[in-house]
Amino acid sequence: MASWGAACIETEPLLAADTVVSPMSHDSPPVRRLADWDHERLEAVAAEHGTPLYVVDLDRVAENYERFAAAFPDAHVMYAAKAHTGQAVLSKLLETGADIECAAWGELQRAIDAGADPNTLQYTAVNPPDRDLDRAVELAAEHPGLTITGGARDTFDRLEERGYNGRVAIRINPGIGTGHHEKVATGKDAKFGIPYDEVPEVAADVRERFDLVGLHAHAGSGVLHDDLDDHCRAIGKVADMGREVIADGAELDFVDFGGGFGVPYREDVEPLDMEIVGEKVREAVGDLDAQVKLEPGRYVVADAECILTEVNTVKETPAATVVGVDASLATLIRPAMFGSYHPIRNVTAPEREAEPVSVGGPCCTSADVFCTDRPLARPERTDLLAIGNAGAYGYELANQFHSQPRPAEVAFEGGETRVVRERETLADVTRMER
């Protein structure tokens, strides 16, 4: 049996022949900290476009993708769109050479709008609504290269009911979950994928009805050093299942091991050494007569974006110094949803003496807090603060709680700055009401 590196070279190249990928800058660090952003440039865009404001560095997005792809030169690396579906981000990644994996119909459409060839897309929905499945089947009828992944027997039955007999992959539940929070440890959550021991039987059935081209799994998200061994153990189980299904007669184009590799949100945590990660993954996969696919999402975009927010209130209390800002859990919900740590920096005066403060927004809930008793260069009213690592699931989870319009998004690319998402107005918030 061939090694997975050799197998992928034989089946299909990583990039199309006419794709041009710029060489990755040797000055690109494995993680960008808030102190690495150009503070003068951040102050300038905040003054021009207001706050709260998302700022995405598209060059950093490309650098992160290229670093990941370089660590897996024989794999087919797809970007997991759910981390950030902004058109500017998707277009930049397509230009850089990435293909796109989509977890919902809307993501398929956004990828196509950004310039993706539908024949290169992979649709990995969980419990897809009827309307989404209808549209995916219609899209595949026109673009038979599209792959639809099913994680339940019902999904395959529903596809057959729609007359579909094209390319499918089976999502496996490896029974091992990893990541920064139990809510993202999908590899052990029954919601995701066919139970591991049932996969051979399901594969035999699916081969009779469809063109079974792959297996898929995703163990979790935000994997760093402590989770890496478990993550590779999950990869090894999925690879073992790939070999079993192939031995049973399936001719798989690929086995997709998902993404999940994290970036350090805390300043004292070191980034993953992707060369070492690549070696560990190759060891876990072993010989596999199919293309290996990987789907980084967070790794590509997390540290490429920050949020700018203005201080409007400083309140001394016996319990804490409370710093009020105009960003809220409607801007960035991850701290409220996952208890996530996001670095915060005083852009206006980083040299001031640090003191412990609690930073929160204008929402009428105690969950609207970005940090509690964290040392920060003493904020004063009208200071500009930056909240880091906002690129992954930041704007994607932004909402309109308290009738707050969602913020604008500005992109840095080279020396240019442009608005890539307009700030909503209250009229936008209420537009669909009757």
Domains detected in the chain: 117-296 (3.20.20.10), 303-430 (2.40.37.10)
**Residue 296 annotated as binding site:** yes
pLDDT score recorded for residue 175 = 78
pLDDT score recorded for residue 230 = 85
pLDDT score recorded for residue 3 = 45
Annotation marks residue 371 as catalytic: no
Cα atoms in the Cβ-side hemisphere of radius 13 Å centred on 274: 20
**β pairing state of 53-57 and 305-316:** antiparallel
Across all residues in the chain, what is the average pLDDT?
91
What digits encode the pLDDT tens for the residues 302-357? 999 999 999 999 999 998 899 999 999 999 999 999 999 999 999 999 999 999 99
pLDDT score recorded for residue 394 = 98
**Residue 393 annotated as binding site:** yes
pLDDT score recorded for residue 132 = 97
**Residue 123 annotated as binding site:** no
What digits encode the pLDDT tens for the residues 67-98? 999 999 999 999 999 999 999 999 999 999 99
Single pTM value for the model? 0.91
pLDDT score recorded for residue 337 = 94
How far is it, in rounded angstroms, from Cα 307 to Cα 361? Answer: 13
pLDDT score recorded for residue 264 = 95
The single residue of 102, 306, 364, 371 carrying the catalytic annotation is 364
**Residue 260 annotated as binding site:** yes
- The partner residues of 328 in beta bridges, in order of sequence, read none
Mean pLDDT by 10 residues, the chain (434 residues): 40 36 58 97 98 98 97 96 98 98 97 98 95 98 98 97 98 70 46 90 98 92 82 92 97 95 94 94 96 97 98 94 98 96 98 97 97 97 98 97 98 97 98 96
How far is it, in rounded angstroms, from Cα 14 to Cα 291? Answer: 10
pLDDT score recorded for residue 88 = 98
Which candidate, 41, 84, 39, places its Cα nearest to that of 64?
Answer: 84
